[in-house]
Structure 1
Amino acid sequence: MRTASHTVRRTALCRLAAAALLLVGGCSTGQGPGGGGSAPARITAPTAALQPFYDQRPSWTGCGGGFQCARVEVPLDYSAPSGERISLSVIRLPATGQRIGSLFINPGGPGGSGVQYTRAARSLFPDSLRARFDVVGFDPRGVGESSPVKCLSNSQLDAFVGLDASPDDHAEVKALEKGSKDFAAGCEAKSARLLPHVSTVDAARDMDVLRGVVRDPGFTYLGKSYGTFLGATYAGLFPKQVRALVLDGAVDPAVPSLRANEVQAEGFEVALRAFVEDSLKQQDNPFTSRTVDGALAEVGALLKRADGQPLRNDLKDGRRLGEAWTVLGVITPLYDRQSWPALRRALKAAFKGDGTTLLRMADLLVDRHADGSYSNQTEANMAVNCLDHPYPTALGDYRKAADKAAVESPHFGSYVMWSSLPCAYWPVKPTGADEPIKAEGAPPILVVGTLRDPATPYEWAKGLASELKSGVLLGFDGDGHTGYRSGSRCVDTAVENYLISLHVPKSGTVCPKIT
């Protein structure tokens, strides 16, 4: 499930930002809900065949709110640049002051829409930063408005997301196996042309084309969650083109696929414990137990109850609120400490049998809309993860790994592990490898990690920073997914000083807990 960097979207409930880990269907972070995989040999300059792509002069047109939008063409297959082309949807908010250049941003996923994320630029960044940079976002290939991967209908996605991903018997395992095979087959039927060409390496090469299109001599970037893997991959390919990269909520590309799932599940478990510890001190505490372990047992009992007898769903959309949807509803607000009060309210209702609020939260994570339609976030997430990382192909390997993960993460381990199963049946062989990215020759790269991040554990930030030859680690003693603009002035100042003035903090600095 690699980093389910679902789609960190700024909503009243989750301040995620448009990528909060796509937990469904193999989400990974950078590795596969955005994954790992080493970049190929570094690229220093475009070939003659690629130069026309870099020389494009797109027509930027107003698209509301002071934003400008454009379409940019890139090769479907970089090994055959004279062949078929696809177009990327790009958006920018022009700088308001003395411009340095462009700040490219990515919210995570894989599968998160950079276009929608950038629409929130005025709340994502302070005036001082927006004065100096055009904020530029784009939907990566295969995502949103950029030649999207499609696999399933809305009703089929409802069924897939709702599959019991912590199977208790042979019948449930067979149902999960069939659903995973059907997902892979649907992607092949509807998107066979795209599937071999939606890797993170392809997306990173697209970013360098975009750098050329906006005429920036160096690349300035802020990526969150899976976006850190995308940024690190770019640095591995184009180290000399890097001006400044902030990699926030980092993924370690050297961690093998199933191990990444295991570590991520443990991260969610840590976040759940932190949430429970806080809840026991609050007036709106939904738990009857007075101990942390007792309250955690109440959550476990709720998941078991939903597995056997689905919770009530008052949305009247026909969905059965079983264990999978309930797990997603619990996970979503763990991404952001400010959403913990909402989770307490949702659990209070769920303990009484009403799972409606948890279901609304789950819908945020998988980007399901009120009319029952989905973005293609889940499909793109799976397509990129399965291409970026080698996954086992034997069902028994997932069963064994799920049993192991459930020991350290009893609430989430099995779910997270089984969520990668479609990759066992994927119609395209993976092109990536779980290896470190060194980016030799790049200037300092700032890696930000939050100590109790539920989706991208702090150990991944430490790993990435140590693997990058010029990596600089900045820690944050906090809760929630990603550190920048999460309430720490220490983190915000360090990031903004680096982006504007290229000054980096001492590597290993840990910003204090917010009190």
Structure 2
Amino acid sequence: MLKPILITLSVLTVSVPTATATAAQAGPRSVRPAETVTTIQDWSPCPNDKIGMECADLRVPANWKKPEGRTITLKLGRLRSTGTSEGSVLVAYGGPGGPGIAITQSAASTWWTDLRKRMDIVTWDTRGYGEQFQGLSTGLPCVWTRIPLPDLPQDDADFGRLSDTNRGYAEACRLKDPELFANMSSADQARDMEAIRKALGDQPLNYYGASYAGFYGQAYARLFPGRIRTMVLDGTWSHSAADWTDELEEMAKSNEQAMRRFFTWCAANGCDDVPGLWRELIARADRTPIPTTTANVAYKARDLQSFALSHARQGSTAWPGLAEAIRKAAKGDASVFVSSRGSRYPDQATGVTECADWPRFANLKEAVATTRRLQRLAPNTGTANTMASATLGCIGWPQPVSNPPAPLPKGLPPMLGAGAWGESDAVARVLSQVPGSVTIYHDGPGHTLYGNNACARTHVNRYFTDRTLPSHPAKC
């Protein structure tokens, strides 16, 4: 069995309401405006803490357009500087919904040791992602689960059924807390970041955003461009394209490059038959799904493309297994692709934050035209693991796209990006809009660099402490 690693957008969806919720996750509650906290006064040991992390609550508006209305709780975590503090770095890990406090606690000894000599490390559990994500902030009281992405609709009636199905999933959650459901975009997270910045003492922001949290950073840069001291975008993608169609094409071309990198390796390592087998396999799977020995599990072309991409991006350690999986599937048995985490994993499903952040198809004509264009650009990978496939789960969603992609404003300070294969190119497209910015490239597999690449970590730490960027181009 291949061991899949999902390094595309981590996207989730909701199904049915949960029966219980913690106090922080409770549904709508009327709160007097005076209860909104603008400074943090009571730091205390975090629950079950073993590393000296302090926690505090910060109340913010559920709807930032109604600052005098209901509030929700953000749980903040802080690791104090081990030396004389020169400020703080606000950290988020993406997901969306990655629990900042729990992840920081688990990563403190490897990620943040050197930076803590001069800076406090501050994180938070993002709004809406509560107990199921190990989060301690106000959460949507719903059960969140992964479901397979829908297929491309075949006709207008199919498009309508998909819209109705997606709306049904979303409504099960939305009705539990309509206000919070409507205010979970990356822009809402960015406004929470600004509240945290002010509560910490109103100093200019230092921010590290990994993976999906890079979109929080891009949203913050659009909303509060004059309040940034330093910003690092690590292993993320562009939410700042002037032309969204162009960005979709770049996603598809990056995926195609990952697969071609694997084929190049095959040409020199005894599996030169695999590229041809692969093209025959996905053509056949589009007509008839490839069976497995698991009951009721068979894979269509996009399923196989998504699995293969996941492994192609892992590099040479995964490539022999991928070659063998393709050979077996070409003989009619795709069982090697079946994961213990579910029959369709690692294909994507979609959730509240993603559907607020990314454009979705308005009609069948648009969906078909985009799909065909991406398939021409990426014949081996198609639309798999792009937002063109991920947002099929947003068609019919009961909330509009409230935070669409948009270019960054002028006047931002130089920023630092980082990423491995594919990711560094996407980050560079974002930072090309910010004069003086630099992206750290890693010519190898992986998702984000700071945690597992000492060279990149040194550059990032120096940037945060001294505002010193590496020379361009920077390679680690």
Q: Normalization by structure 2: what TM-score?
A: 0.77
Q: State the 1:398 CA deviation.
A: 0.9
Partner of 1:428: 399
Q: State the 1:501 CA deviation.
A: 1.8
Structure 1 residues 103, 312: closer, same or farther in 2, change over 3 A? Answer: farther
The yes-or-no answer on 1:355 pairing with 2:332 is no
The yes-or-no answer on 1:396 pairing with 2:380 is no
Q: Partners of 2:256 and 2:11 in 1: how far apart? A: 14
Q: Partners of 1:97 and 1:299 in 2: how far apart? A: 58
Q: State the 1:109 CA deviation.
A: 3.6
Q: State the 1:418 CA deviation.
A: 3.6
Structure 1 residues 291, 168: closer, same or farther in 2, change over 3 A? Answer: farther
Contact 2:228–2:413 at 8 Å: present in 1 too?
yes
Task: Choose which of 315, 320, 323 in structure 1 pairs with 2:297.
Answer: 320
The yes-or-no answer on 1:278 pairing with 2:259 is no
Partner of 1:64: 49
Q: State the 1:220 CA deviation.
A: 1.5
Contact 1:111–1:378 at 8 Å: present in 2 too?
no
Partner of 2:210: 224
Structure 1 residues 261, 325: closer, same or farther in 2, change over 3 A? Answer: same
Give the secondary structure class of the aligned counterpart of 1:119.
helix
The yes-or-no answer on 1:344 pairing with 2:322 is yes
Give the secondary structure class of the aligned counterpart of 1:337.
coil
Structure 1 residues 65, 497: closer, same or farther in 2, change over 3 A? Answer: same
Task: Choose which of 430, 433, 437 in structure 2 pairs with 1:464.
Answer: 430
Give the secondary structure class of the aligned counterpart of 2:264.
helix
Partner of 1:55: 39
Structure 1 residues 350, 255: closer, same or farther in 2, change over 3 A? Answer: farther
Structure 1 residues 166, 428: closer, same or farther in 2, change over 3 A? Answer: closer
Computing the radius of gyration over CA atoms, which structure comes out larger, 1 or 2? 2
Contact 2:424–2:439 at 8 Å: present in 1 too?
no
5 Å-filtered alignment, 1:17-28, equals: 20-22=8-10
Give the secondary structure class of the aligned counterpart of 1:105.
strand
Number of residue pairs aligned between Structure 1 and Structure 2: 442
Partner of 1:254: 241
Contact 1:332–1:361 at 8 Å: present in 2 too?
no
Give the counterpart letter for 1:270 in structure 2. Q
5 Å-filtered alignment, 1:90-169, equals: 90-122=76-108, 125=111, 127-143=113-129, 144=133, 145=135, 146-149=137-140, 154=145, 157-158=146-147, 161=148, 163=150, 165-166=151-152
The yes-or-no answer on 1:511 pairing with 2:475 is yes
Contact 2:40–2:56 at 8 Å: present in 1 too?
no
Q: Partners of 1:429 and 1:421 in 2: how far apart? A: 14
Q: State the 1:436 CA deviation.
A: 0.8
Q: Partners of 2:12 and 2:36 in 1: how far apart? A: 38
Q: Partners of 1:150 and 1:333 in 2: how far apart? A: 34
Partner of 1:35: none
Which 5+ residue runs of structure 2 have no aligned equivalent? 14-32
Structure 1 residues 348, 396: closer, same or farther in 2, change over 3 A? Answer: closer
Q: Partners of 1:447 and 1:388 in 2: how far apart? A: 21
Q: Partners of 1:332 and 1:321 in 2: how far apart? A: 18
Give the secondary structure class of the aligned counterpart of 1:54.
coil
Structure 1 residues 322, 365: closer, same or farther in 2, change over 3 A? Answer: closer
Give the secondary structure class of the aligned counterpart of 1:80.
coil
Contact 2:259–2:381 at 8 Å: present in 1 too?
no
Q: Partners of 2:463 and 2:416 in 1: how far apart? A: 8
Q: Normalization by structure 1: what TM-score?
A: 0.72
Q: Partners of 1:247 and 1:485 in 2: how far apart? A: 10
Higher RCO structure, 1 or 2 (CA under 8 Å, sep 6+): 1
Contact 1:267–1:457 at 8 Å: present in 2 too?
no
Task: Choose which of 397, 400, 413 in structure 2 pairs with 1:443.
Answer: 413
Q: State the 1:339 CA deviation.
A: 6.2
Q: Partners of 1:339 and 1:123 in 2: how far apart? A: 27
Once the two structures are superposed, residues 201-225 of structure 1 have per-residue CA deviations (whole angstroms, 9 ceiling, x without a partner) of 2111111222233336232211123
Q: State the 1:359 CA deviation.
A: 2.0
Q: Partners of 2:188 and 2:149 in 1: how far apart? A: 31
Coordinate RMSD, CA, aligned: 3.9
The yes-or-no answer on 1:494 pairing with 2:459 is yes
Q: State the 1:432 CA deviation.
A: 2.9
- Report % sequence identity: 24
Partner of 1:406: 375
Structure 1 residues 402, 215: closer, same or farther in 2, change over 3 A? Answer: same
Q: Partners of 1:211 and 1:258 in 2: how far apart? A: 34
Partner of 2:289: 308
Once the two structures are superposed, residues 160-208 of structure 1 have per-residue CA deviations (whole angstroms, 9 ceiling, x without a partner) of x154x25678897676455434334434334422232112221111112
Q: Partners of 2:42 and 2:345 in 1: how far apart? A: 33
Structure 1 residues 246, 175: closer, same or farther in 2, change over 3 A? Answer: same
